Amino acid sequence: MVDVSIILVNYNTRGLLKQCILSILNMTKGINIEIIVSDNDSTDGSAEMIKIEFPTVIFIENKANLGFGRANNIGISFAKGKYLLLLNTDTYFLNDAISIFFDYMENPAHQDVACCGGDLFKPDGARQASYGNFPSIFDAISQLGFYRLYPVYYKRYIAAGALNYDNSIKKVDFICGADMFLRRSMMDRVGYFDEDFFLYFEETEMSYRIKKSGLMSMLIPEAKIVHLEGGSQDGAYLNLRRIKQFSKSRRLYFKKSHSNFSSSIVTCIFSFQALLFYLFKRNPDYLKVAKTILNS
Same-domain check for residues 181 and 267:
no
Query: Minimal CA–CA distance to 119: which of 152, 81, 63, 168?
Result: 168
Query: What pLDDT sits at residue 237?
Result: 53
**Higher per-residue pLDDT: 232 or 153:** 153
Distance between CA atoms of residues 205 and 160, nearest Å: 12
pLDDT confidence of residue 234: 42
Distance CA 272, CA 175 (A): 29
The pLDDT score that the predictor gives to residue 55 is 97
Contact 49, 14 (CB under 8 A): yes
- What single letter denotes the amino acid at residue 177? G
For residue 29, the model assigns a pLDDT of 96
Give 206-243 pLDDT, tens digit per residue: 999 999 999 999 999 999 999 997 433 344 456 899 99
pTM of the full structure? 0.93
118 and 250 inside one domain: no
Instruction: Supply the range of the domain harboring residue 191.
Output: 4-122+167-225
The answer to the question of residue 143 being in a domain is no
- Average pLDDT taken over every residue of the chain: 95
**Distances, alpha carbon 170 to alpha carbons 102, 176, 260, in Å:** 17, 14, 32
Residues 209 and 240 in one domain: no
pLDDT tens digits, residue range 195-212?
999 999 999 999 999 999
Are 178 and 285 in a shared domain?
no
- Residue 238 and residue 215 in one domain: no
Same domain, yes or no: 218 and 237: no
Note whether 172 and 227 are within 8 A (CB): no
- Shared domain for 181 and 53, answered yes or no, is yes
Q: pLDDT digit string (tens) for 242-289?
A: 999 999 999 999 999 999 999 999 999 999 999 999 999 989 999 999
Q: What is the number of structural domains in the chain? A: 2
Which CATH number is 77's domain given? 3.90.550.10
